[in-house]
Amino acid sequence: MNHRNDIPQSPLSTGLSGSAREVELRVRNIHTGRRKRPALILMAVVVLVIALSGVLVAFSTGESEDNRVKEVFAAFYGATDARVYWADEAPGQPQVGDVRLDSIELLEETELPEGEAALYGVTRSIYGQQAGEVQWVTMETGVEVLLWPSDGGEAQVLTPNFYIQGLTPEQVIRQTVWGLLSWEVSLWQEGMDRPLGIGTEVSHIKPDGQEVIEAMGVGDGAPIYQEGDRYELHMWPDLTVNCYHSQLDDRCHANHITCEDPALVTPRGIHVGSTRAEVQAAYPEANNDPFWDWQGDYLCCRPWDSDFGPAILFVFQAGGEVYDTVQAIFLVNMVD
C-alpha cells in the first residue's frame, strides 16, 4: 500500500506552518482580529442541518414502515380472494364482497424470542347486504397481532385466540404468539422466556432434565385433526405433559399438564407448596364445585366460565391424605 504525504487541506482549518512570529500573529488574529469567524453561527447552522436531516430520515423510515404494515394487512384480509383497499383508495363503484380497511391503530409493541410483535386495532368494512340494500357494512373494531419473525421469515398476522377480556395489550400479544388458550392457565419458571401452558410448545421445558417420551393411542374419542398426527406423553420426575404432535410442522403442543415441581409458578404466583389461604387470596373466583369426573380436595379456576375449555386445578390431596398446601397443579383442556 502506498502512503500519501500530501494530506488534503480543509478550507475550515488554519495552517500553523512558518516562523514562531507568524504563528503568534495568526493565533492573535483569530482571537482579536476585526474579521472574526462566526463560529457560533456556523455551529448553529451545522446543528440545525443535522437535526433536520434526522427528522427527514425518521419521517422517511416511519412512512416506509407504515407502508410495510399496510401491505401485510392488505394481503392478510385479501387471502380469500376478496378485493382489499384502504378507505382513501376505495373505488367509486365497489363490488359485493370488497373489503375496505378504514383504519389501523398501533396499541402496543414488544420484543419476543420469536421476533418483533405489535398489537393493532383494525376497523374494516365489507360491501354487502344490510337493511335490504347493498352498502358498506362496518365491522366491529377488532385486534390483530403482527409478528416480524426473528428468523427473517415473512411477517405474520395472528388473530388473538379465544378470550382476551381483562388482559393487558402485551399479554394479548404474548398469549397469541405463544398459542396459549388462556394466559391464566400457564406455568412459569425462572430463566424461562415463555411459559408452559395449554396450547404452547414443550421443547423449551426443562432442557437439562431427564425426559421420557411415550407415544399414545387416540383413546376416549380424542380427536386427530390431520393424518399422521399423534398424542405423546412427555414425562419428567415431577412433571407430565400430554401433547398433541402435529406431523405437518413437527411440533408438540401441551394438552394436559400435571405439575408437582414447586419451581413452576402460575401467573398469580401460586406453586406446589402454596397454602390453601394463599390460593384463595390469589384466586378468589376458584371453587370446589364438581368439575367433570375429578375427585378429591381441590380448588378449580375456569377462565372461560364454562365446563369446556382450559382450567387450572390446585389439588390438596395426595395418597388419600388431605393437606393444607398444594400437592399438585393440573392444567387441563376439556374439549367439546
pTM of the model: 0.73
- Spatial contact of 314 and 279, defined as CB atoms under 8 Å apart: yes
The kind and range of the H/E element at 42 are helix 39-77
Which one, of 226, 222, 232, lies nearest residue 249 by Cα?
226
Q: How far apart are CA 304 and CA 307, in angstroms?
A: 8
Backbone phi, psi, residue 216, to 5°: -120, 155
Q: What pLDDT shows up at residue 298?
A: 96
Supply the pLDDT for residue 212: 76
Domains in the chain: boundaries: 78-160, 179-336
Residue 139 corresponds to which cell in the numbers above?
Answer: 365491522
CA 201 to chain centre: 15
Q: Is 245 helix (H, G, I), strand (E, B) or coil?
A: strand
CA–CA distance, 19 with 21 (Å, rounded to integer): 5
Distance CA 139, CA 145 (A): 18
pLDDT at position 218 is: 57
The cell numbers describing 160, all together, are 388473538
Residue 195: CB atoms within 10 Å: 23
Query: H/E element holding 127?
Result: strand 115-130
Tell me, what's the pLDDT at 10? Answer: 32
Question: Are the CB atoms for 315 and 332 separated by under 8 Å?
Answer: no
Distance between CA atoms of 44 and 172, rounded to whole angstroms? Answer: 47
**What's the one-letter identity of residue 225?**
Y
DSSP state of 322: E
- 75 by DSSP, 3-state: which? helix
Q: What is the pLDDT of residue 202?
A: 83
Angle at the Cα of 256 from the Cα atoms of 288 and 287, rounded to 5 degrees: 10
Distance of CA 113 to the CA centre of its chain: 9
Pairing outcome for strands 99-112 and 84-86:
parallel
What topology is assigned to 179-336 in CATH?
protein yfey like fold (2.60.460)
Burial of residue 15 (number of CB atoms within 10 Å: 0-12, 13-18, 19+): exposed
pLDDT at 231: 84
pLDDT value at position 90? 85
Q: Tell me the per-residue pLDDT of 109-151, one tens digit each, with 9 for 90 and over.
A: 999 999 999 999 999 999 999 988 999 999 988 999 999 999 9
Return the pLDDT at 240. Answer: 92
Cell of residue 200, nine digits: 404452547
- The rounded distance, in Å, linking the Cα atoms of 112 and 180 is 15
The answer to whether residues 111 and 96 touch, using CB atoms and an 8 Å cutoff, is no
Q: Is 246 exposed, middle or buried (0-12, 13-18, 19+ CB in 10 A)?
A: middle
Strand partners, 329: 259, 314
Q: Which residues of the chain have pLDDT under 50?
A: 1-38, 42, 45-47, 49-50, 53-62
pLDDT, position 207: 62
The rounded distance, in Å, linking the Cα atoms of 155 and 219 is: 38
